[in-house]
Chains A and B, each alone.
Chain A
Amino acid sequence: MKQKVVVAMSGGVDSSVAAALLKEQGFDVVGITLKTRNWDDEAGKKFGGCCGSSDFFDARSVAQALDIPHYNFDYVEEFKVSVIGYFKESYQAAETPNPCIACNQFVKFDRLLQQARALGADFLATGHYARIDTNGPQSPSSAVRQYRLKKALDSSKDQSYVLYHLSQAQLAQLRFPVGEFTKPEIRDIARKYGFVTAEKPDSQEICFVPNNDYRAFLVDQIPAESRLPGPIRHKDGSLLGQHRGFPFYTIGQRSGLGLAVGKPLYVVALDKETNTVIVGGKDDILADAAVIRNVAWVGGEAPALPIRVSVKIRYKHIEAPASLDAARLEPSPGAPHSGSAVSVQFESPQSAITPGQAAVFYDGDVVLGGGVIDHIRRGPPTARPISYGTEAIVKQGKGGMEGGPVAEDHCNNENKGGNVVASLERNLPR
């Protein structure tokens, strides 16, 4: 009997081709599209991203072309709680969320995976650009070979960053068929099949935020008392003005401060205790250490620490060499941190390490694990090899700092230079 696979079809080209590839591989393929908002709520608003009404019809058209069954599942409530709720809470906690990771972690690879299995599927597949290697090292506790999560073949489209939380049990039930191809190849396959999604542009926005205006969304969604104005201070302590509430600021942001002080100032930190936005010069957003909470290891258990790895601190960041060591985080009433913590010591300073974003640990192409950036650790500069010096900083600058540092990393995109959303280069995980 054929093995059954449920493909999460978002209505984009990647998951369309994922379904086609699996069908070619001889699976019994079932398409499921998640409805994450009520279509009536779309009236008069423009949504990017996936999972809207027109995306559903696109997914249906692809399923029809492939002659596979296709269902629309109502995930409005789950999405509202796990993704939109998290997004708002993160901003209220003075952090910068990555809702796409939340969607993967709590919706697609939790609820949907469970549901697919309960419906009799052997696997769940998505259109993510990543690879699952079934031939990893032997698990220390058993003779079973581990599943390894690896970067996509097409490194420019790699989405392994948004999948770091996957466990061995999940990987055993997942398929990422497009990870073995480049994006142009995927589009070619879609064209070959004549899919309506073949030329569909990569999604550019946060799927649940109308009109690509997340600040308007936050103002609408977060009660005024949770986004009060407060002081803007230079890191030397001088008062420079008043901010409009934390949701309007993110670390590394340059524009939007409304300040005229001769040279550009950047958001360095958001101090939740005093509701203060702290700004500073370009160098002040550099830091070389951070503490990561809620750490998950793909292999199931932490490797021997300390360990030298590469760490990626946002989707388009080029992972930088660093060492990980054990850390302790005291749970506080406002932020009951769960899971284990590690500290990251970069070999060279990184620009705009942003609490709330994911830090993902790589060994070459292999994802070891990752977690959520809890706070930047500033202190006496630690000794680091001179050889990384300025060259490394310049190199990082090309990846993430050009035109102002980056932190508005909602999905797996990168927002360059404060609010210049038009320059986003991203593709939504599917």
Chain B
Amino acid sequence: MKKFIYLDHNATTQLRPEVVDAMLPHLKGHYGNASSIYQLGQEERKAIDQAREKVAKLIGVAKPEEVVFTGGGSEAINWAIKGVALGARAKGRHIVTTKIEHSAVLNSCKYLETLGWHVTYVGADWHGRVKPGHIRDALTKETVLVSVMHANNEIGTLEPVAEIGQICRQKGIPLHVDAVQSVGKMPVSVEELGCDLLSMAAHKFYGPKGVGGLYIRPGTRLHAFIHGGHHERNRRAGTENVAGIAGMGIAAELALKDMKSDEKNVRQLRDKLEKALLHEIECVRINGDPEHRMFNTSNLSIEAVEGEGLIVGLDMQGICVSSGSACSSGQTDVSHVLKAIGVPLELAKGSLRLSLGRENTLEEIEKVIDVLPKVVDRLRAISPLWGDYKKGLRKSVIGEKTPSPAISDLRENLKL
């Protein structure tokens, strides 16, 4: 395998060596079923319990049993939303969420809509911030769940979850927080967020894929999602993925230990990268909230190029990034997040997400600062839009359409 510069940590991360070490015994030799009574099973039970403690600690939960392991972040999200909806269907059938959620949330909600639930999708401002007041205004007597993400996976905007949590508590409505992008990267406390459910995924913080967790506050009514045996205290059936769970536990422990220093380093690199790219590339802007933003994420809109070409051009130079617009799935649609926050189509098409992680080095960032502007130049050289801009036949969209703060405030007031 060639050496890559990996700047797509919001997609997934590589396993830390300690995580691999923690998993290996359960892949080689320790094959017991954690539910078995004999000692071979007890060994595995112990690994799961230890991992649960570590994950609980990572999100500020005192009682580990409030964390249930799942087969990943999407499962946790699906379970939280559908489980609460089904559990409360006698009370009401209304859910409040936002337009900028991950598709696991949006598509779970859409599915419920086909079954007769009503969902209100609250918008966000130009920076991707949801207004707590808009959530409050959307609540009705029928509302049985609010679901809001902690950190946006595409643009990195951090949502005012704690304030939304207060509102939900006052109204007695459970709050689910999709914290897949924040857990393990920044301090997360279920008490501070005031949430009743919180979803997470191990592979976003250097743990294995296919394992995640759902925090469930005691007293939260939700139906089981996967029915079967008595695993996970009757909440999530299926023989436990011990290797994955053990890996998630160690990943959680390491994340907590290194969180501060990782944040400092990664933020420095990200800021350097952004500053340089803004300087080197003409007609580029940063998407996301200037103040409330994940320290590792940089979402750029680069005018007159398509994200798809940028990704491939960078990949050919050994640099891994992603875009809000790519047709890997066969359906090219510009990012629903960029659309929801009012980024003009032309700019959404040219969006690029650079998400950094703990193993990135200054040398790598300098290479990207060198290569990315060149790739942009080559793609712009064949772009009719860019040609017109350079000839003065067309104005820059970034110059024209980016709303000033005054306009974005107006948008918020009008709830656009």
The CA-CA distance from A134 to B270 in the complex, in Å, is 49
Q: Is the CB of B379 within 8 A of A69?
A: no
Residue on A nearest B316 in the bound complex, by CB? A120
Residue B309 lies at the interface, judged by CB distance under 8 Å to chain A: yes
B281 to chain A, nearest CB (A): 16
The CA-CA distance from A280 to B312 in the complex, in Å, is 56
Which B residues lie within 8 Å of A38 (CB)?
Answer: 330-332
Q: Is the CB of B382 within 8 A of A114?
A: yes
Residue B308 lies at the interface, judged by CB distance under 8 Å to chain A: yes
Residue on A nearest B317 in the bound complex, by CB? A120
Q: Is the CB of B382 within 8 A of A35?
A: no
Interface string of B324-350 (1 = CB under 8 A from A): 000110111000000000000000000
Q: Is the CB of B308 within 8 A of A118?
A: no
The CA-CA distance from A118 to B308 in the complex, in Å, is 13
> A76 touches which one: B313, B317, B332, B382 (CB < 8 A)?
B332
Which B residues lie within 8 Å of A5 (CB)?
Answer: none
Which residues of A from 94 to 122 have beta carbons under 8 Å from B? Answer: 114-115, 117-120
Interface string of B289-330 (1 = CB under 8 A from A): 000000000000000000011001101110000000001101
Residue B381 lies at the interface, judged by CB distance under 8 Å to chain A: yes
Q: Is the CB of A30 within 8 A of B316?
A: yes
Interface string of B358-390 (1 = CB under 8 A from A): 000000000000000000001101100000000
Q: Is the CB of A118 within 8 A of B378?
A: yes
Given A74-B332, A114-B382, answer yes or no on A119-B327 (Cβ-Cβ < 8 Å): no
Q: Is the CB of B330 within 8 A of A39?
A: yes
Residue A53 lies at the interface, judged by CB distance under 8 Å to chain B: yes
The CA-CA distance from A114 to B331 in the complex, in Å, is 23
> A35 touches which one: B309, B313, B332, B378 (CB < 8 A)?
B332
> A115 touches which one: B309, B315, B327, B331 (CB < 8 A)?
B309
Q: Is the CB of B313 within 8 A of A118?
A: yes
Interface string of A55-76 (1 = CB under 8 A from B): 0100000000000010111101
Which A residues lie within 8 Å of B378 (CB)?
Answer: 118-120
Residue on A nearest B314 in the bound complex, by CB? A119
Most buried by B among A38, A53, A74: A74
Which A residues lie within 8 Å of B313 (CB)?
Answer: 118-120
Q: Is the CB of B331 within 8 A of A39?
A: yes
> B309 touches which one: A39, A40, A76, A119 (CB < 8 A)?
A119
Most buried by A among B313, B327, B382: B327
The CA-CA distance from A30 to B381 in the complex, in Å, is 21
The CA-CA distance from A35 to B333 in the complex, in Å, is 13
The CA-CA distance from A119 to B332 in the complex, in Å, is 20
Q: Is the CB of A74 within 8 A of B316?
A: no
Which A residues lie within 8 Å of B308 (CB)?
Answer: 71, 73-74
> A72 touches which one: B316, B328, B379, B381 (CB < 8 A)?
B328
Which B residues lie within 8 Å of A35 (CB)?
Answer: 327, 330, 332
B337 to chain A, nearest CB (A): 19
Residue on B nearest A76 in the bound complex, by CB? B332
Q: Is the CB of B332 within 8 A of A118?
A: no
Q: Is the CB of B330 within 8 A of A72?
A: yes
Which B residues lie within 8 Å of A119 (CB)?
Answer: 309, 312-313, 316, 378-379
Which residues of A from 18 to 50 have beta carbons under 8 Å from B? Answer: 30, 35, 38-40
Q: Is the CB of A72 within 8 A of B382?
A: no
Q: Is the CB of B332 within 8 A of A115?
A: no
Given A39-B331, A72-B330, answer yes or no on A118-B316 (Cβ-Cβ < 8 Å): no
Which B residues lie within 8 Å of A76 (CB)?
Answer: 332
Q: Is the CB of A72 within 8 A of B309?
A: no
A329 to chain B, nearest CB (A): 28
Residue on A nearest B313 in the bound complex, by CB? A119
Most buried by B among A56, A72, A114, A117: A72
Residue on A nearest B332 in the bound complex, by CB? A74
A70 to chain B, nearest CB (A): 10
Which A residues lie within 8 Å of B331 (CB)?
Answer: 38-40
A51 to chain B, nearest CB (A): 11
The CA-CA distance from A308 to B317 in the complex, in Å, is 50
Which A residues lie within 8 Å of B330 (CB)?
Answer: 35, 38-39, 53, 56, 72
Which A residues lie within 8 Å of B379 (CB)?
Answer: 118-119
Residue on B nearest A28 in the bound complex, by CB? B316
The CA-CA distance from A72 to B308 in the complex, in Å, is 9
B334 to chain A, nearest CB (A): 11
The CA-CA distance from A38 to B327 in the complex, in Å, is 10
The CA-CA distance from A360 to B399 in the complex, in Å, is 48
Q: Is the CB of B327 within 8 A of A118?
A: no
Which B residues lie within 8 Å of A117 (CB)?
Answer: 382
Which A residues lie within 8 Å of B312 (CB)?
Answer: 71, 73, 119
Which A residues lie within 8 Å of B327 (CB)?
Answer: 35, 72-74
Q: Which 9 A-B pairs have the closest CB atoms?
A: A39-B330, A74-B332, A74-B327, A114-B382, A118-B378, A119-B313, A118-B382, A71-B312, A118-B379
Chain B interface (Cβ < 8 Å from any Cβ of A): 308-309, 312-313, 315-317, 327-328, 330-332, 378-379, 381-382
Given contacts A73-B308, A118-B379, A119-B313, 4 further A-B contacts (CB under 8 A): A35-B327, A118-B378, A119-B378, A119-B379
**Contacts A/B (CB < 8 Å), 8 sampled:** A35-B327, A35-B332, A53-B330, A72-B330, A118-B382, A119-B313, A119-B378, A120-B378
